[in-house]
Amino acid sequence: MNVRMIVTSLGTSAAMLAATVAQAEDGYDAPAEWPSPVVEHLRGSLLVDRLEYARPDEGDDALVWDFQAWYGGDVNRLYLKGEGENVQGDGEDAEFESLDLLYSRLIAPFWELQGGIGYQGGIATDDHLKRYFGVINLLGVVPYRLETDAGLRVSDDGDISASLESEYDLRITQRLYLQPRIEMSASADEVPEFGVGKGLNSIRTGLRLRYEFHRKFAPYIGGYWQKAYGDTADMARAEGESVEDTGIVAGIRMWY
Amino acid sequence: MTKTKQTASPLTRRQVLKGGSALGLGAMALGLPPAWANPWGQTAAYPRGIESGPDISLAIRRETLDVAGKTARPISINDTSPGPLIRLKEGQDAVLRVTNLLEESTSIHWHGLILPPEMDGVPGVSFAGIAPGETFTYRFPVRQNGTYWYHSHSGLQEQLGHAGPLVIDAAEPEPFRYDREHVLLLTDWSFEDPATIFHNLKTGEGYYNFQERTVADFFADVQRHGFTDTAAQRAMWAEMRMSSRDIADVTGSTYTYLMNGQSPTQNWTALFKPGETQRLRVINGSAMSYFDVRIPGLTMTVVAADGQPIQPVPVEEFRIGVAETYDVLVTPEANTAYTLFAESMDRSGYASGTLAPRLGMTAPIPVRRQIADRGMEAMGSHEGMGMSGMSDMPDMDHGSRSPSSSTGMDHTEMSGMDHSNMQGMGHSPKEGMSGMAPDRADGMLPVGVAQPGSRLDRPGIGIDPDERRVLVYRDLKALRPWPDRRPPGRELELHLTGNMERYMWSFDGKKFSEVTGPIHFEKDERLRLILVNDTMMEHPIHLHGMWMELENGAGELIPRKHTLNVKPGERISALITADAEGSWAFHCHLLYHMDAGMFRVVKVA
């Protein structure tokens, strides 16, 4: 919904009232029906950071995605963040590793504190086990420009886990970027049905080379390495799954 | 809310007749360049498109016109975009009837004119705005002369070409003579929608910057300056999560820079006869772009700044901030062509034209300069790391030359720290400043003295003052003292603040939507306004309704301006006589900074 559209084309009393209130607070005696000299608009943005086809050395290919969308103002925003994959040829539908709906507030120039609810499981199917979380996130940029997303989640069964994602854009030319990224997850509880052990669960690192044909559209290629640790690794072994893996990816980064 | 509709009277027959050409019934709808871009200057030979006062009708519409050789949808004023030259005479009672043929509200602000507050043209401050289909009649006595301009003050309309030059002929002879005059209106045009540009600035940092530091030039810098200095300098900027190449938010990657509405390829040409003195009225009517103006081969004598006469200053180049105007005299003796060259401050593009004895002649475009890196001065610190590593950077300000440089440096260093740590977060940067104020025996500096922490003797980033004679604010001296000789009764300090990451811009850490009241000036008081730039970008600060007398060290002869460029980390001051009762806009004249919240209302009562 666009506030300006309402004000200019419809001129509804509600919008006028909003403008009036803003102005009355400023207290410079402007008549109530005058518009505000500077009008702020809420806006939204969608970043598909990764939409990629991954080919591991072992196991099945997968379509992987990682997006975040927000709507709001400069300080308060509503976020929808999702990460998931669809393993090809396993006969199962796609799965969200996480799908979070978060209220976000700018608490420092480079930092947003986010809180809300999260979901893990299948997309509209029961192919995958599912669970819900309470989520707290700190999203921002640390000095030296590492974009960082640190999260703490508590599941509906009371299991506590933490994750840390960080990525960096190394500018090779004005349009060619090399992006190293790292993801770590850890858990305070053992959750065997999700293959999660106590302690450090896994580390995943990746390196992607992207070319920004347009700021909003950039294809990339890259590779990753991942490894499970501790009980999590033992559970994977018991299931006959690999504990350490490398693979290559090709995908697109885009935003609006 | 229905009030606007009730007052939206249909055009009377008389208005239609009077505004006949204004309403596009004439031969103007052909996409012709604005007539004031007439190559022979303001002579009777080509008067079309000049609207001469005192009684003028202007029609604002959105229409398909040619811009830089391509089809575009600018906002036009009497069917040209940018609009026609409005020519008034000092002493007239101007009557300007503005008819809005857009589908949204509009306005015209007469930039730099001293007039009654209800005629200032700022929706929400001076009046309600001009509703679609409505005609608003501006009436005001013309009490000044010189080079000014006009533009929309509604939303982002100015970016669509809703602007034009305004010249007021003097009642008395001016203190200089010339044979011919030309208007040079510089603008930045984009084929993108202004709302899209704003969205891109809000959501994608550095969206339009394609001159960032890269790995490739890191190795080049290492070769030139050694690893330690290069790495230290890069690390410093990276640590602050900022870019040393953040010179312009919106760049030549989307802008086509225009001179009198024409692109460099279209090459607008001003004609002269050798030996004649030309008066060039240079106006920066762009939304976001500072320009460096020169005419290779000619010395320009600056005779007016922001419409107000100054003691002549011969220069070879001058920087013109957004919304500023400068009048310069040139006397080309040779029967040859000269390039009128206005390079954008970030070097991502330029506007240009030709000054020639005959149409069709051209002169070479000067060698383009490379983008400069922000140096220490942006952070307010003048010493420390990587100095030798930046020895080739022409923009480096190697220290404040202000009267009290040590306190000035401390002060600005502090402001730099405020900037990186807490800008835009509603913290009062003043808190960080307390105890850092320069020593002042009587609590205030003498009249006309430059503030410690000012760099009024420096042209700013990307200009090498050793390469050629460049105008600096320190050069501006009034012909005689301005009428109000009182010392200031009080000081008012405002910080220019921002959060680049979110594209939030503000005064004292508060956007317009966050402030609780206007800035109060007491009627007829004399006050000193101190502007402290805590950000890493230049801001052209514009006060409506009253002059700002820039304390540049010229003592009694300080110049008066309507728009003051404040460089990063800089602290400057201006004296103001608050004689204009009413509410006035006060804002950064970078269009998207203003729209992002760098706007306040000043109330004189």
* pLDDT cut 90: percent of chain B above it: 70
Measured between beta carbons, which residues in chain A are less than 8 angstroms from residue B202? 43
Measured between beta carbons, which residues in chain B are less than 8 angstroms from residue A12? 1
Say which CATH number the domain at B97 has.
2.60.40.420
Whether A143 contacts chain B with CB within 8 A: yes
Residue B106 domain-assigned (yes or no): yes
pLDDT mean over B161-180: 94
Amino acid code (one letter) for B479 = L
Q: Could you tell me which residue, A4 or B562, shows the higher pLDDT?
A: B562
CA B196 to chain A, closest CA, distance in angstroms equals: 10
| Predicted pLDDT at A16 | 39
| Predicted pLDDT at B504 | 95
What is the β-pairing status of strands B350-356 and B268-271?
Answer: parallel
Whether A26 contacts chain B with CB within 8 A: yes
Measured between beta carbons, which residues in chain B are less than 8 angstroms from residue A172? 214-216
CA A27 to chain B, closest CA, distance in angstroms equals: 5
Residue B193 domain-assigned (yes or no): no
Residue B64 domain-assigned (yes or no): yes
Q: Could you tell me which residue, B244 or B315, shows the higher pLDDT?
A: B315
Measured between beta carbons, which residues in chain A are less than 8 angstroms from residue B211? 174
**Domain ends where: B123, B155, B174?**
B174
* pLDDT cut 70: percent of chain B above it: 81
* Nearest residue, CB atoms, B216 vs list A110, A145, A172: A172
**Do A174 and B518 lie within an 8 Å CB cutoff?**
no
pLDDT higher than 70, residue A15: no
| Predicted pLDDT at A160 | 96
Nearest to B53, CA basis, from B139, B112, B153, B113: B139
pLDDT higher than 50, residue B148: yes
| Predicted pLDDT at A28 | 64
CA B241 to chain A, closest CA, distance in angstroms equals: 5
Whether residue B136 contacts residue B122, with contact meaning beta carbons closer than 8 Å, is answered with no
* Nearest residue, CB atoms, A26 vs list B202, B215, B515: B515
Whether residue B8 contacts residue B133, with contact meaning beta carbons closer than 8 Å, is answered with yes
Determine the residue among A2, A17, A26 to mutate to test chain B binding: the one whose Cβ has the most chain B Cβ atoms within 10 Å: A26
Amino acid code (one letter) for B216 = A
Nearest chain A residue to B234 by CA: give it.
A144
pLDDT higher than 80, residue B20: no
CA A254 to chain B, closest CA, distance in angstroms equals: 11
Question: What is the tens place of the pLDDT at every residue in A178-237?
Answer: 999 999 999 999 999 898 999 999 999 999 999 999 999 999 999 999 999 999 999 989
pLDDT higher than 50, residue B392: no
Question: B229: pLDDT confidence band, cut at 50, 70 and 90?
Answer: confident
pLDDT mean over B199-216: 91
| Predicted pLDDT at B556 | 95
pLDDT higher than 50, residue A122: yes
pLDDT mean over A91-105: 92
| Predicted pLDDT at B41 | 61
**Domain ends where: B142, B174, B206?**
B174
Nearest to B231, CA basis, from A144, A167, A168, A209: A144
pLDDT mean over A36-49: 94
Question: What is the tens place of the pLDDT at every residue in B486-503?
Answer: 999 999 999 999 998 899
**Do B128 and A28 lie within an 8 Å CB cutoff?**
no
* Nearest residue, CB atoms, A38 vs list B1, B501, B595: B595
CA B90 to chain A, closest CA, distance in angstroms equals: 30
Q: Could you tell me which residue, B93 or A24, shows the higher pLDDT?
A: B93
pLDDT higher than 60, residue B327: yes
Q: Which A-chain residues 86-125 have CB contacts (< 8 A) with chain B? A: 106, 108-110
CA B269 to chain A, closest CA, distance in angstroms equals: 35
pLDDT mean over A97-118: 95
Nearest to B125, CA basis, from B582, B587, B589: B582
**Do B128 and A34 lie within an 8 Å CB cutoff?**
yes
Query: B354 CB contacts (<8 Å, ≥6 apart)?
Result: B267, B268, B269, B270, B337, B338, B339, B340, B361, B362, B363
| Predicted pLDDT at B34 | 59
| Predicted pLDDT at B466 | 87
Amino acid code (one letter) for A18 = A
| Predicted pLDDT at B373 | 87
Query: How would you class B324 by CB atoms within 10 Å of its CB: exposed for 0-12, middle for 13-18, buried for 19 or more?
Result: buried
- What is the 3-state composition of chain B as percent helix, strand, coil, each rounded to the nearest 5? 15, 30, 50
Whether A33 contacts chain B with CB within 8 A: yes
Task: Compute the distance between CA of residue A170 and CA of residue B238 in angstroms, rounded to an integer.
Answer: 11
Residue B587 domain-assigned (yes or no): yes
Residue B85 domain-assigned (yes or no): yes
Residue B265 domain-assigned (yes or no): no
Q: Would you kindly state where each structural domain of chain A is located, as residue ranges?
A: 1-41, 44-255
**Do A74 and B504 lie within an 8 Å CB cutoff?**
yes
Pair of tokens at residue B548? 């700002």
Residue B225 domain-assigned (yes or no): no
pLDDT higher than 60, residue B416: no
Residues B193-208, buried b or exposed e (16+ Cβ, 10 A)?
ebbebbbbbbbbbbbb
Query: B244 CB contacts (<8 Å, ≥6 apart)?
Result: B213, B233, B237, B373, B374, B375, B378
* Lowest-confidence region among A125-129, B53-57, B183-187, B578-582: A125-129
Task: Compute the distance between CA of residue B266 and CA of residue B260 in angstroms, rounded to an integer.
Answer: 11
**Domain ends where: B174, B209, B239?**
B174
| Predicted pLDDT at B35 | 57
CATH of A44-255, one of 3.20.19.10, 3.40.1790.10, 2.40.160.40, 3.20.140.10: 2.40.160.40
| Predicted pLDDT at B116 | 98
| Predicted pLDDT at B394 | 36
Quote the number of domains for chain B.
Answer: 2
Question: What is the tens place of the pLDDT at every residue in B46-75?
Answer: 233 688 889 999 999 999 999 999 999 999
Whether A166 contacts chain B with CB within 8 A: no
Measured between beta carbons, which residues in chain B are less than 8 angstroms from residue A49? none
pLDDT higher than 90, residue B339: yes
pLDDT mean over B208-228: 88
* Nearest residue, CB atoms, B501 vs list A109, A171, A255: A109
* Nearest residue, CB atoms, B215 vs list A22, A25, A171: A171
CA A12 to chain B, closest CA, distance in angstroms equals: 8
pLDDT higher than 60, residue B315: yes
* Nearest residue, CB atoms, B585 vs list A37, A143, A173: A37
Task: Compute the distance between CA of residue A146 and CA of residue B237 in angstroms, rounded to an integer.
Answer: 13
Question: What is the tens place of the pLDDT at every residue in B345-386?
Answer: 999 999 999 999 998 999 999 999 999 888 766 665 333 333
* Lowest-confidence region among A90-99, B87-96, B109-118: A90-99
CA B579 to chain A, closest CA, distance in angstroms equals: 17
Question: Around Cβ B278, how many Cβ atoms within 10 Å?
Answer: 23
Distances (CA, A) of B438 to A64, B300, B398, B412, B443: 59, 37, 20, 11, 9
**Do B155 and A109 lie within an 8 Å CB cutoff?**
no
Give this complex's ipTM.
0.88
**Do B238 and A144 lie within an 8 Å CB cutoff?**
yes
Query: How would you class A13 by CB atoms within 10 Å of its CB: exposed for 0-12, middle for 13-18, buried for 19 or more?
Result: exposed
Whether A34 contacts chain B with CB within 8 A: yes
Whether A45 contacts chain B with CB within 8 A: yes
Cross-strand bridge partners of residue B97: B57, B137
Pair of tokens at residue B184? 């040079």
**Do A35 and B216 lie within an 8 Å CB cutoff?**
no
Residue holding tokens 């509703």? B131
Question: B432: pLDDT confidence band, cut at 50, 70 and 90?
Answer: very low
Mean pLDDT score of chain B = 84
pLDDT mean over B35-45: 54
* Nearest residue, CB atoms, A43 vs list B199, B210, B511: B199
* Lowest-confidence region among A23-27, A155-159, A206-210, B551-555: A23-27
SS3 letters across B322-380 = CCCEEEEEECCCCCCCEEEEEEECCCCCEEEEEEECCCCCCCCCCCCCCCCCCCHHHCC
Whether A255 contacts chain B with CB within 8 A: yes
Task: Compute the distance between CA of residue B407 and CA of residue B251 in angstroms, rounded to an integer.
Answer: 36
| Predicted pLDDT at B332 | 97
Mean pLDDT score of chain A = 87
| Predicted pLDDT at A247 | 96
- What is the 3-state composition of chain A as percent helix, strand, coil, each rounded to the nearest 5? 15, 55, 30
Task: Compute the distance between CA of residue B116 and CA of residue B583 in angstroms, rounded to an integer.
Answer: 10
Q: Which domain holds residue B48?
A: 3-174
Whether A158 contacts chain B with CB within 8 A: no
**Do A215 and B204 lie within an 8 Å CB cutoff?**
yes
| Predicted pLDDT at B51 | 87
**Do A33 and B4 lie within an 8 Å CB cutoff?**
yes
Question: B39: pLDDT confidence band, cut at 50, 70 and 90?
Answer: low
Determine the residue among B62, B109, B125, B209 to mutate to test chain A binding: the one whose Cβ has the most chain A Cβ atoms within 10 Å: B125
